[in-house]
Amino acid sequence: MIGFSEFEAITFDCYGTLIDWETGILNALRPIMRAHGVSATEGDLLKAYAEHEAIEEAGEFKSYRDVLRGVVAGVGMRYGFDPSMDERDALVDSIGGWPVFSDTVEALRVLSWRYRLGIISNVDDDIFAATAQAFEVDFDMVLTSEQARSYKPSSTSFALALTRLGLPKDKMLHVAESVRHDIVPAKAMGISCVWVNRVKASGRAAGASGATSETSSGADIEVPDLKTLVKTMGLSG
């Protein structure tokens, strides 16, 4: 068990950790699939999203808005149709309405009493701004891929976050749902990590396809949700 009292700041991945992005993704993609007469399981759609997102984020940096447009185009190609321009904007246009996990707001409120809070997210500034009001707390640091000019799992965002917080790596704790995007690169830098295994908490079978599909990690601690994390840390509302 790591010593939580040693940390001064906690950083979070946003979409998938604080925001229920799988529900948001599916709600945006299902109408497109229906419009083109395509039937696909939730698992297959989420897997297609994850694969095409990774492709779109590779290579020369481009905005997350363009990444998501490319994802929809790639999903359409996989299922044999060419999405319209409006359909290619569907994911971007929907993000502001993606649901917050039920444990997020209270956990952030409690943690903000003790720690500086930060966001490290693979999105554009305006996309996060559309989400931020739902959290009901002010973050001490928000770092987007637009600012870093790179996407996690690159270590660039984590190094920049430490610089902006003005902290050594042993004073920052990173909390995230994605092993590939967050836990692996942060741990490689010597940053302590909490894996929020929301796949396990959702009841999906181990190894089931998802927007991020991992069954193990090198994190220091694994929890099913943020409520459990707060309890593990000995904090309460």
Decide if 13 is catalytic: yes
Residue-level pLDDT at 74: 97
Q: What is the rounded CA–CA span in Å between residue 156 and residue 48? A: 26
Domains with residue ranges and CATH for the chain = 4-20+100-232 (3.40.50.1000), 23-96 (1.10.150.750)
CA distances from 123 to 2, 18, 57, 151, 230 (A): 30, 14, 11, 9, 26
Nearest residue to 181 via CA among 150, 141, 149, 221: 150
Percentage of residues in the chain having pLDDT higher than 70 = 92
Q: Which residue has the tokens 């297959």?
A: 44
Predicted model pTM: 0.92
Chain segment 20-71, per-residue pLDDT in tens = 999 999 999 999 999 999 999 999 999 999 999 999 999 899 999 999 999 9
Q: Out of 13, 103, 182, 225, which one is annotated catalytic?
A: 13
Question: What's the CA gap between 21 and 198, in Å, rounded?
Answer: 11
- CA separation (Å) from 131 to 41, 117, 126, 142, 177? 27, 16, 9, 12, 18
